[in-house]
Every structure is written in C-alpha cells, then in structure tokens.
Chain A
Amino acid sequence: MKLLFNNKKEDLLSRLKKQDPAAQKIFYDQSVKKFLSVAKSYISDIYQAEDCVIKAFCKIFKHIESFRGEGNFEGWARKIVVNECLNFIKSHKTVFYLDDVHASVLEEIYEEQIVFDFNAQELLDQLPDAYRMVFNLYVIEEYSHQEIADTLNISTAVSKTQLFRAKEKLRKIYFQQQKKLKNEHI
C-alpha cells in the first residue's frame, strides 16, 4: 500500500514536470488548504495570504524542473510558500528589528500551569511582523538561527533576540486572554 502511494506520488511529480494541467489541479487540490494555513501564520490578512499562495503555486509549477528529487517535494513546495510570504512582508511592510538583548536574559520560558485552549492564530496575529517571522521560521519551519539570519539578512544575535521577544510577547498575550476569559466566567 505504501509502495503504491509512493508510485502515485512519483507519477504525479513526473506529470507536474511535464506541465500537465490535470496533474497541477490534483496537486493544487491536495495542498492548497495546507499552504494557506502556512501563509496565514505569516500574514494575518486572508486575502493577502491567498495572493501569496497563488504566486507560490505559479512559482512551483514554473520552477518544478529545478526540484531534483532531493528530499520531500511537499517540503520543497512549502519552502516556496514561506519564501513568498516573507517576500510579501518585506516588500509591503517596514519591518523593524530591535536591538540585542543581554545574553543572561535569553532563557527558556516555561509555562507550568497553562490551559491549552487558546487559538494559535489569534496569538500570532497580535505579534509584530519581525517577531512573527522569526518565531514561525524557528518554531514551525524548524530553521536554525543561522538559516533565519541568512533568509532575513540579519545577524544570528538579532534572530535570537527576536525569538525571545516573540515568546515573551506571546506569553503576555496568552495570560491577558486567560484573564479576560476568567472575568467573563465570573
């Protein structure tokens, strides 16, 4: 069964490389919802996120020949979506990266008594663009600080600072939400 699934994937990939419109439609149907979810985590506005997804699909279909089968095709396509979102933010918004934070402050934040009934998108939407980009790249896409620095043209120190501040901000937003909920219940 697994073999059959792999063969189907390879067949779809070969058809995509031949610019087969039917294969392109199949791939679109399979991955559009996932890609839109990824794009929405970077861009809060759904229409702008959709525009980025459209551009990403066009790029995937156009440059599919450059995918040499090294690694996962979905991962390669997802990377294009992420890059498209980052380019959109860079070109449409002015991103400010704050100064370095003292090294002793960079500690992991643990939440021991957190009830995880929050909406992740609501938290992300309240983050500034610089924080959100670094946080998403580090936490969701699992980039290293060096990779983030190379992608966003910043230093690794700035990347670490942005991540720390993003986590701090998220915690603050979360506790504020929890307080609101408690007050509403009372």
Chain B
Amino acid sequence: MNTSKNNIEYQIKKQINEREIAPSRDLWSEIETQTQTNDNSQTKKVNWFLIAACLVLIVSLGVVLFFDQDSKPNVQVAETNNKEVLKENSAKTEKINSHEIIQRNQEKYVELKNVPSQLKSETETSEIITEKKDLPMIKENSKEIAAQISQIPAEKILAKADSAKVQQVKKKRYVDPSTLLFSVEHKEVIEKTKGGSNVATIDLNTK
C-alpha cells in the first residue's frame, strides 16, 4: 500500500479514523433489550436441555430395571430372601443367645451363692464350674460363639453341653458333694489313717 500523504487513500483513511458519528437514535436501549432477550433464550435452552437429559435418564433407568428383572430367575430371588432371613435370624439368635446366656449365668450364679454349699447337688456344682469358666469366654468372643451356636442345631448344642459337663466333673478340684454327704451320713464308718486320709469301711454283706 502506498503510504504517501499525497494520495486519496491516505486522506480517506485519515478522515474515517479521525471522525466520530453520533447515533441518530438511542442505540443503548436496543442493545440492552437484545442482551436481555439473549440471556433469557439461553436460560430457556438450558432448561430444555435439562428436561431432555432428565427424560433420557428416566427412560434408560426404566429400561435397565425392566431388563434386569426379566433376566433374574425366581429361584435366585428366593435364595437371596432365604439368606436374608437366615442372616436376620442368626443375628437375632446371636443377640438373644449372648445376652440370655450371660443373664442366665449371672442369675444362676447369684442363686447358687445363696444356697448353702453342703446342700448343693452334683449337677449344680458342675454347672457352676462350667459356667464360671464359660463366662469370660462369652464376653470375649460372644459374637463368634453366638454364630457357632446359631449354625449348630439345638440337639447338638445340648449334647455338647452335656459332654462339657461330664468333662468338667472329671476335672473338678473341689470335694465331691456325694462323698461329703456320705461322710456326714456315715460318720461312724469313717476312720482316719496315719497318713491323714479318711477311709470308710463298708460291710457289703450287712444291709
């Protein structure tokens, strides 16, 4: 481009760049209204997009749920229900067993404390011994024990308890109440030996 000041182009450029034309009408009010309408139309567009997106989401969710239900067999549903029921039951038994066992043990322990030691039966003493030993175990591993109890049938639990009692009876360190009772009832038969032990002589022929 010729930058010489002696040509028409340069003079036109100079005049155009230097001049300012005042608008013949209020352009600002029109700009304001147009910008506001643009903003409104934009929000409307966004709203429409939101609605469309929500509809698509709902439809897709519905389709997924529908086909999911169809694909699952009824047997599986029953199994899951059973499992859930079993879980609930086991949880309940856990809670009940652990609490009840502790409560029962405590009650029995209190009762047995009140009863004179001489009149205690063989079974009661064995129970005290076993239960006294079991108490801390229940406290420590109550959940595991409860779970084990829930899994094992009731008959087996009883059998286990009996065997435990028998074992505990064999391991006892205290005086056998039956021998104690015998010694009280037949004082005249018992004689002390030189070693310090009591020996009872019974004549089997005399009744």
Contact = CB atoms under 8 A, between A and B. Distances in A.
Interface of A: 21, 24-25, 28, 32-34, 36-38, 40-41, 46-47, 50, 53-54, 57-58, 61-62, 108-112, 114, 116, 118-121, 123-124, 135, 138-140, 142, 167, 170-171, 174
B9 A32 contact: no
A110 B7 contact: yes
Contacts of B21: 33, 36-37, 40, 46
Contact of A54 (B1, B30, B38): B30
A112 B4 CA distance: 11
A174 B8 contact: yes
Interface in B1-46: 1-2, 4, 6-9, 11-13, 15-17, 19-25, 27-28, 30-32, 34-35, 38
28 contacts: A24-B31, A24-B35, A28-B27, A33-B23, A40-B21, A46-B21, A50-B23, A50-B24, A54-B31, A57-B27, A58-B35, A58-B38, A61-B31, A61-B35, A62-B35, A109-B7, A110-B7, A114-B7, A114-B8, A119-B15, A120-B11, A120-B12, A121-B16, A124-B12, A140-B16, A167-B8, A170-B8, A174-B8
A134 B25 CA distance: 29
Given A54-B34, A139-B1, A28 B28 contact: yes
A86 to B, nearest CB: 16
Interface of B: 1-2, 4, 6-9, 11-13, 15-17, 19-25, 27-28, 30-32, 34-35, 38
B28 A120 contact: no
A114 B1 CA distance: 19
Nearest to B28: A28
Nearest to B22: A33
Q: Which interface residue of B20, B21, B31, B32 has the most chain A CB atoms within 10 A?
A: B21
Nearest to A60: B31
Counting from the closest, the 3 A-B pairs by CB-CB distance are A33-B20, A120-B15, A120-B12
Contacts of A46: 21, 24
Given A37-B19, A54-B34, 17 more contacts: A24-B35, A28-B27, A33-B22, A37-B20, A40-B21, A50-B25, A54-B27, A58-B38, A111-B7, A114-B6, A114-B7, A120-B12, A120-B16, A123-B12, A135-B9, A139-B1, A140-B16
B6 A111 contact: yes
Specify the main secondary structure of chain A where it touches its partner.
helix
A11 B6 CA distance: 41
A120 B24 CA distance: 20
Contacts of A123: 8, 12
B2 A108 contact: yes
Given A41-B16, A109-B7, A142 B27 contact: no
B27 A53 contact: yes
Nearest to A33: B20
Given A33-B21, A167-B9, A25 B34 contact: no
Contacts of B16: 37-38, 41, 120-121, 140
Contacts of B27: 28, 32, 50, 53-54, 57
A110 B17 contact: no
Contacts of B12: 120, 123-124, 139-140, 170
Contacts of B28: 25, 28, 32
Given A41-B16, A57-B31, A58-B31, A118 B11 contact: yes
B67 to A, nearest CB: 44
A142 B10 CA distance: 11
